[in-house]
Amino acid sequence: MKNVASTLNKASCIYGVARDTVKLSNGDMDKGEYVLKTASNVARYSAGAGGAAGGAALGTMICPGVGTALGALAGAVVSKSVIDSVFRLFD
């Protein structure tokens, strides 16, 4: 479960960067906006990965195995929600 959450998180980051790269190539986005969007995608990925690691560690202390998987998932979701809220403050 932990690996699935990590893989989905990476895929989301790669998709976001690829989507923005296509927009930049088509002229639908300028370089400044591209840099900001890419930094945002990487920050969201990093927050999700960090949250998953922290959640997995906490879950392992409570109930090894199932707790690890559920903690990783919960940690990724919570940390992504927090970072999304922070980014909305600056939009």
Domain boundaries, the chain: 2-90
Flag whether the pTM goes above 0.95: no
Contacts of 6 (CB under 8 A, 6+ apart): 49, 52, 72
Q: What is d(CA 23, CA 10) in angstroms, rounded to the nearest whole number?
A: 20
List the pLDDT tens digit at each of the 91 positions of the chain.
Answer: 556 666 766 777 788 888 999 999 999 999 999 998 888 888 888 888 888 889 999 999 999 999 998 998 899 889 988 888 888 887 6
pLDDT reported for residue 23: 93
